[in-house]
Amino acid sequence: MSAPSQDAPTRPLLALFLNSMWDCYPEVDASACSLPCVFSTDPAELERADVVVVHLPTAPPLHWLPKRPGQAWVAFSMESEITVPAMVDARERVGFDFEVSHRRRADVWCPYFGRRIRAGLLAAPQPKTAAYPVAHFQSNPYDRSGRNRLASELIRRIKVASYGRVLPTVAGSGTIATREERLALSARHKFTLAFENSIVPDYVSDKLFDVWIAGSVPVYLGAPNVAEFAPAENSYIDASKFESPAELAAYLNHLDGHDDDYEAHLEWKRSGPDARFLELLESVTDHPWCDIIELAHARGYGLRA
C-alpha cells in the first residue's frame, strides 16, 4: 500500500490488539510502517488507541465497550465465515470500520500465503518412498465441509496413512507436532489430503500450500474458487469434481499405478508456477498491520499534524 497523502500524525498512532488470537498476538515490526506507530496488547489503552483490532473468533462481548470518536475498529479473522458468522453478520459488525482477513473483499487482504513460500514451491519433489500412496493429517474433528466422511470413504478404498487423531491408520498417530514433520512425511507420499473444515470462497488455508511446498499432490476439498490460488492448472486434484468418493479413489488408484499420469500433476514443480500465480504472490502484502495503519490514517482516523 502506498503512503497516504495526508501529513504524518503529530505523534505515533497507537494500535491496540484488544484480544489475543488463540493465546498469542501477531508479530508486528512497527519500523516497517511508513507512518510512526506503536502496537499494544494492553486493554487499558482502549480509550486512547487510534486503531482497535478485534480478533472475532475469540472476541469478548463488544456491546459494552466504548468506541471513542475518531477511533478505527478493525474486524480480524482468518477463519471462514461459516465458523465465524460475525464476519458477515451486520448486527455483529456494527462499529467496525475495516476488515483484515483471508477474504479478497477485505480492506486489507491477509491470505494464508505470501511471497515467502516461493522458494519452497520451487523445490524439486522428493522420491515417493512411503508404503501408502496417500497421507492424511487431521487432529481436529470440527467439520462443516463433509471432510470426515470423505476421508473415511477414501480410507476404505485406497491405502491412506492417516497420522492425526481423526481416523488414524498408523502407529503413533497424533504425535506429529510440527509443520516440519508434516512436510517431511507428506513429501514421501504421492498424495496428501488437504480438506478444509468449511467450504466458502477464498477460504484456502495453509494446509493446501504446505502440500505444494512438500512436493506431494494435494487432494483438495474446500473453496469453490481454489483454481484462483493454484500455482498451475494441473497442480491439485479437486475432490468436488468427482461424482462420489469411490470415483475419486479409483482415480487416485489409477494415478498410483501409472507413473506418467501421476507425474503430470508434478510437472509444474519442474517448470515453475505460472505467471498469473506469481503475480498473485506479489500482490500479497508483507505488512498487513502497517497497511491498516496507513488506511485508517488516510481515511481520517487518528491524529493529524
Average pLDDT, the chain: 94
**Same domain membership, residue 172 and residue 74:** no
- Residue 191 backbone dihedrals phi, psi, to 5 degrees: -130, 150
Q: For residue 53, is pLDDT > 80?
A: yes
Give the pLDDT score at 95.
85
Give the pLDDT score at 6.
57
pTM exceeding 0.85: yes
Q: Do the domain assignments include residue 304?
A: no
- pLDDT (tens digit, 9 = 90+) per residue, 257-286? 999 999 999 999 999 999 999 999 999 999
Q: Residue 134: which domain range?
A: 115-282
Total domain count for the chain?
2
Grid cell for residue 270: 519442474
**Residue 303 · residue 9 · CB < 8 Å:** yes
Grid cell for residue 65: 465497550
Q: How does strand 134-136 pair with strand 160-162? A: parallel
**Same domain membership, residue 218 and residue 104:** no
Confidence label for 3 from pLDDT (cuts 50, 70 and 90): very low
Q: For residue 30, is pLDDT > 60?
A: yes
Residues 6 or more apart from 86 whose CB is under 8 A from it? 56, 59, 75, 77, 92, 93
**Same domain membership, residue 179 and residue 278:** yes
Grid cell for residue 125: 519433489
Give the pLDDT score at 139.
96
Distance CA 42, CA 49 (A): 10
Q: Do the domain assignments include residue 8?
A: no
**Same domain membership, residue 225 and residue 133:** yes
Q: Percent of the chain beyond pLDDT 70?
A: 96
Distance CA 190, CA 138 (A): 18
**Residue 150 · residue 212 · CB < 8 Å:** no
Residues 6 or more apart from 23 whose CB is under 8 A from it? none
- pLDDT (tens digit, 9 = 90+) per residue, 96-112? 999 999 999 999 999 99
- CATH number reported for the structural domain that contains residue 65 in this entry: 3.40.50
More confident residue, 85 or 89: 85
Give the pLDDT score at 303.
60
Question: What average pLDDT does the segment 194-201 reach?
Answer: 98
Rg of the chain (C-alpha set): 22
Residues 6 or more apart from 9 whose CB is under 8 A from it? 35, 36, 50, 297, 302, 303, 304, 305
Q: For residue 114, is pLDDT > 90?
A: yes
Question: What average pLDDT does the segment 122-135 reach?
Answer: 97
Number of H helices, E strands in the chain: 10, 11
Helix or strand or coil: residue 74? strand
**Same domain membership, residue 222 and residue 293:** no
- CATH number reported for the structural domain that contains residue 128 in this entry: 3.40.50.11660
Confidence label for 2 from pLDDT (cuts 50, 70 and 90): very low
**Same domain membership, residue 201 and residue 122:** yes
Confidence label for 4 from pLDDT (cuts 50, 70 and 90): very low
**Same domain membership, residue 157 and residue 105:** no
**Same domain membership, residue 272 and residue 203:** yes
